[in-house]
């Protein structure tokens, strides 16, 4: 056992403490806690990149087993492997982007700076912990650490207090139910298997008594359903449009990207545990149940999210419904595991899901960044009519929004979005899951109409003026677009990083 993999987590937790203390010792000086939080986020990002991703570098393990030249952890609470590093790096980068997007509003006093940065960095810490969770306890605690601060962050909007409060209550009520469902599922899994471990399933008995099989199946489905809420997958998506639209736009951006990525990581961790035990065990029920449940969530999300987005006239609500559909694309590869009999092909499906999730969050944060940059000083994202003429009045910022929307649609020249769609379809075809592959293709075509509307709005009408947004939102938008360009010209960098975990 080594403690070095905890370096990013320690850096994130230290950022939370320092942000809190800086606000206590420098009251009324908004720049102090903000600078501490942003600086700590950048330090955490550097730590996440610099910490070696290795299976031997794990924490709180019950034992190890030798495999080749490496020592693999067994029954570990925290494992910082390649996939965990990808998730941690992206979550921290998204937190930095959210802080940059929020800077003008915090400077104007639209939210208390100390509370805002403390809660946002707390959510970041939960995301870093979630990335390497190795058992159900760590997974659920980390997921709630990521989620609970967001209840308050959604409500931190002094200029739209009634809308923000209503959005926060909606988010809280739905999230509590989802958490209860996940906890019940985790309890049933522990009752039936005798372990809370997920990555090190050698501790699970080879033969689970037959009478406990229905209990284990029920527990697994409940856990996946509860986690489906975190990614706003249909039919667990009703909270997302109202919450995103009522929250401060930077918080909505964080919810739509970092929180969703955390939910995807949690589902992958649970699924990996099921796959390690299911195909080779005496009972394939859990293996099949996981695939069927995820396939249903994926199909409903793609269809309902696309149909809902077509009806929206408000920009943030359109992006919210779009994110529901995108959650379906993320989960679609995981739906293909139900027909498999071995872990090997399933690894490709999990990699495809994570790759699509990263492609999506990069383009999504660029879209939200462009919305903030195009409407400086405004309390919300406005409507599609508010975008009219901005393609001429603010050409570079409008080009950033168009870039993100074209990428989300999966069209050239933004090949990052196209690579994401191809990755999902190819992964499904490789395992003969043709129905889901066809549905992904059909919904992708139908979804073009969703993104066509805001793009055309930008370049219709006369010239519209847009005030200068300030350096922080422009920096966030530029970084997000640059990341999208990098993934367009060198997507292999992401694929290599993701495949490193196995």
Per-residue pLDDT, averaged over 353-380, amounts to: 93
Rounded Cα distance between 196 and 382, Å, is: 46
Region of residue 432 (phi > 0: left; psi between -120 and 50: alpha; otherwise: beta): left
Is residue 67 within a helix (H) or strand (E), and if so which, with residue range? strand 58-67
Rounded Cα distance between 99 and 153, Å, is: 12
Using a 10 angstrom Cβ sphere, with 0-12 exposed, 13-18 middle and 19 or more buried, the burial of residue 161 is exposed
Q: What is the pLDDT of residue 74?
A: 55
Which residues lie across from 61 on neighbouring strands? 76
Q: What is the pLDDT of residue 205?
A: 45
Model confidence band, residue 66 (pLDDT cutoffs 50, 70, 90):
very low
Model confidence band, residue 318 (pLDDT cutoffs 50, 70, 90):
very high
Model confidence band, residue 501 (pLDDT cutoffs 50, 70, 90):
low
End-to-end CA distance of the chain: 19
Phi first, then psi: what are they for 459, rounded to 5°? Answer: -115, 20
Per-residue pLDDT, averaged over 267-285, amounts to: 67
Q: What Cα–Cα distance (Å) separates residue 468 from each residue in 148, 193, 373, 453, 492? A: 34, 58, 8, 25, 36
CA-closest candidate to residue 316, choices 157, 440, 172: 157
Q: What is the pLDDT of residue 69?
A: 37
Return the minimum-mean-pLDDT range out of 332-346, 432-446, 474-488.
Answer: 332-346
Q: What is the pLDDT of residue 80?
A: 86
Q: What is the pLDDT of residue 230?
A: 87
Rounded Cα distance between 337 and 346, Å, is: 6
Task: List own/partner pairs for 19-23 with CB under 8 A and 24 or more apart.
Answer: 19/114, 19/117, 19/118, 19/121, 20/114, 20/118, 22/114, 23/113, 23/114, 23/115, 23/117, 23/118
Those residues whose C-beta lies under 8 Å from the C-beta of residue 255, and which sit 6 or more positions away, are 150, 154, 240, 243, 244, 247
pLDDT at 344 > cutoff 70: no
pLDDT at 200 > cutoff 70: no
Rounded Cα distance between 88 and 231, Å, is: 17
Torsional sign, CA 25, 30, 34, 35: negative
Q: What pTM did the predictor assign?
A: 0.92
> What is the number of other CB atoms lying within 10 angstroms of the CB of residue 187?
16
pLDDT digits (tens, 9 = 90+) for 67-86: 433 444 556 788 888 889 99
Q: Is 356 in contact with 307 (CB distance < 8 Å)?
A: no
Rounded Cα distance between 16 and 324, Å, is: 30
Q: What is the pLDDT of residue 72?
A: 45
Rounded Cα distance between 495 and 502, Å, is: 12
Q: Is 13 in contact with 125 (CB distance < 8 Å)?
A: yes
Half-sphere exposure of 412 (CA within 13 A, CB side): 1
% of the chain exceeding 70 in pLDDT: 88
Q: What is the pLDDT of residue 401?
A: 95
DSSP state of 59: E
Those residues whose C-beta lies under 8 Å from the C-beta of residue 373, and which sit 6 or more positions away, are 394, 397, 400, 469, 473, 474, 477
Q: Report the range out of 116-125, 154-163, 228-237 with the highest average pLDDT.
A: 116-125
The token pair at 350 is: 């999990």
Q: What Cα–Cα distance (Å) separates residue 478 from each residue in 301, 399, 409? A: 30, 11, 20
């Amino acid at each position: 056992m080594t403690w070095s993999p905890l370096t990013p987590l320690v850096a994130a937790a230290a950022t939370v403490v320092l942000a809190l203390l800086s606000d206590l010792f420098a009251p009324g000086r908004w720049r102090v806690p903000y600078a501490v939080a942003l600086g700590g986020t950048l330090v955490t990002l550097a730590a996440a990149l610099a910490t070696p991703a290795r299976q031997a570098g794990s924490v709180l393990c019950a034992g190890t087993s030798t495999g080749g030249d490496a020592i693999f952890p067994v029954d570990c609470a925290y494992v910082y492997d390649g996939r965990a590093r990808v998730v941690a790096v992206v979550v921290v980068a998204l937190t930095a982007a959210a802080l940059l997007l929020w800077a003008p509003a915090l400077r104007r006093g639209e939210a208390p700076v100390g509370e805002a940065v403390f809660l946002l960095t707390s959510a970041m810490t939960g995301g870093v912990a979630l990335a390497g969770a190795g058992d159900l306890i760590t997974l659920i605690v980390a997921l709630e650490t990521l989620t609970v601060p967001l209840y308050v962050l959604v409500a931190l909007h002094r200029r739209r207090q009634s809308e923000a409060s209503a959005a926060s209550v909606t988010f809280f009520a739905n999230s509590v139910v989802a958490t209860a469902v996940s906890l019940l599922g985790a309890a049933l899994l522990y009752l039936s298997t005798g372990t809370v471990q997920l990555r090190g399933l050698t501790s699970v008995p080879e033969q689970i008594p037959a009478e406990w099989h229905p209990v284990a199946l029920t527990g697994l489905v409940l856990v996946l359903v509860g986690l489906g809420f975190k990614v706003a997958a249909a039919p667990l998506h009703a909270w997302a449009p109202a919450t995103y639209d009522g929250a401060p736009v930077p918080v909505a951006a964080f919810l739509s990207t970092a929180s969703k990525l955390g939910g995807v990581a949690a589902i992958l961790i649970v699924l990996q545990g099921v796959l390690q035990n299911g195909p080779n065990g005496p009972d394939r029920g859990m293996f099949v149940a996981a695939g069927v449940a995820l396939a249903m969530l994926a199909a409903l999300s793609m269809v309902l999210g696309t149909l809902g987005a077509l009806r929206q006239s408000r920009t943030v609500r359109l992006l919210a419904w779009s994110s529901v559909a995108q959650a379906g694309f993320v989960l679609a590869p995981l739906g293909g595991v139900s027909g498999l009999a071995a872990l090997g092909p399933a690894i490709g499906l999990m990699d495809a899901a994570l790759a699509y999730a990263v492609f999506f969050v990069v383009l999504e944060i660029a879209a939200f960044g462009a919305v903030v940059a195009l409407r400086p000083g405004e309390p919300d994202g406005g409507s599609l009519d508010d975008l009219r003429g901005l393609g001429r009045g603010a050409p570079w910022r409008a080009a950033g929004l168009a870039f993100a929307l074209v990428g989300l649609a999966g069209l050239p020249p933004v090949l990052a979005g196209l690579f994401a769609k191809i990755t999902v379809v190819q992964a499904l075809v490789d395992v003969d899951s043709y129905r889901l592959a066809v549905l992904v293709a059909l919904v992708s075509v139908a979804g073009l109409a969703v993104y066509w509307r805001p793009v055309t709005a930008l370049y219709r009408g006369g010239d519209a003026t847009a005030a200068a947004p300030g350096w922080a939102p422009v920096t966030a938008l530029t970084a997000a677009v640059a990341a999208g360009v990098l993934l367009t010209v060198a997507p292999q960098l992401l694929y290599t990083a993701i495949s490193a975990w196995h």
